[in-house]
Amino acid sequence: MSMDAGGTEGQPQVAELESVALACRRAIVSMVHKAGAGHPGGSLSAIDMLVALYCTRLRVRSEEPDWPDRDRFIMSKGHASPGMYSILSHSGFFEAEELDSFRKLGSICQGHVDSGWTPGVDFSAGSLGMGLSFGIGCAFAARLDASKRTVFVMLGDGELQEGQVWEAAMSAAHHELNNLKVFVDRNRIQNDDFVDKQMRMFDVPAKWAAFGWAVREIDGHDMTEVLEAIQWMDGVDTGPAVVIAHTVKGKGVSFMEDNPSFHGAAPSDEQLEQAMEELQ
């Protein structure tokens, strides 16, 4: 896929995007099952946003992944790699067969996203909390280059417990980085349990607003709302913008939905069969 400019002309309609997201959900569940490990829950909660971004907005070139003036997408919650790989494959960055090698030694589809291994990945993830800081660096670089490229970052809500996120948020607002856009995947579950049981986040939108960001809340599984949110972010030109996307962990697979057990677990053979039936 090559998308050198934003805009809406000739772009996929909502029903087509929803169909792509469904196919990506099947790929996510399948690759995690085949590997016997991985993080399906947070990939399924994020995939609608990833599909909307990659299919309608990001200026990228699959045939030239390192194109200097491309937009940047930073998957800070890097364990949601199955979601990233599914949309990158759909977008033409690599063949779908590569998904079968997920989490295998030497595969381009490592357990966490890694820019050294995977075409189209701009950030190597590990410990949570660092993606927004990296995104700020990318946004500054674009400003210094007098480039119109935009930097998008996706954060998990459990990740917001990291103090570095808020230092970065304060810095971005101070420097009025209007080319920095953030999605928060607010699925309310982190590695060990529900976020509110681990450490309550209280009023997340108010926190971002207090740090000087433009804020919008959406249903992260309503494709129309996601598309409108992307347009809204593009229209914010006074500083950074954040979309708080209310999502369901494991969205689309009944036994994974709102289930902390599937933050980082593979489905059994029987569960795979059920999931694939539900994702028709």
Torsion of CA 152, 43, 29, 19, to 10 degrees: -50
DSSP string, the chain: -EE-S---TTPPPHHHHHHHHHHHHHHHHHHHHHHT---HHHHHHHHHHHHHHHHHT--EETTSTT-TT--EEEESSGGGHHHHHHHHHHTTSS-GGGGGGTT-TT-SS-SS--TTTSTT------STT-HHHHHHHHHHHHHHTT----EEEEEETGGGGSHHHHHHHHHHHHTT-TTEEEEEEE-SB-SSSBHHHHS----HHHHHHHTT-EEEEEETT-HHHHHHHHHHHHH--SS-EEEEEE--TTTT-TTTTT-GGGSS----HHHHHHHHHHT-
The count of other CB atoms within 10 Å of the CB of residue 244 is 22
Residue-level pLDDT at 6: 41
The pair of structure tokens assigned to 182 is 């953030």
- Domain spans of the chain, in order of start: 2-278
User: How confident is the model over 126-139, as pLDDT tens digits?
Assistant: 899 999 999 999 99
We find that the CATH architecture of domain 2-278 is 3-Layer(aba) Sandwich (3.40)
Residue-level pLDDT at 126: 86
Averages of pLDDT over each 10 residues, the chain, 280 residues:
50 94 98 98 98 98 98 98 98 98 97 97 95 98 97 98 98 98 98 95 97 98 98 98 98 98 97 98
User: What's the start-to-end Cα distance of the chain, in Å?
Assistant: 25
pTM: 0.95
Residue-level pLDDT at 159: 97
The count of other CB atoms within 10 Å of the CB of residue 274 is 15
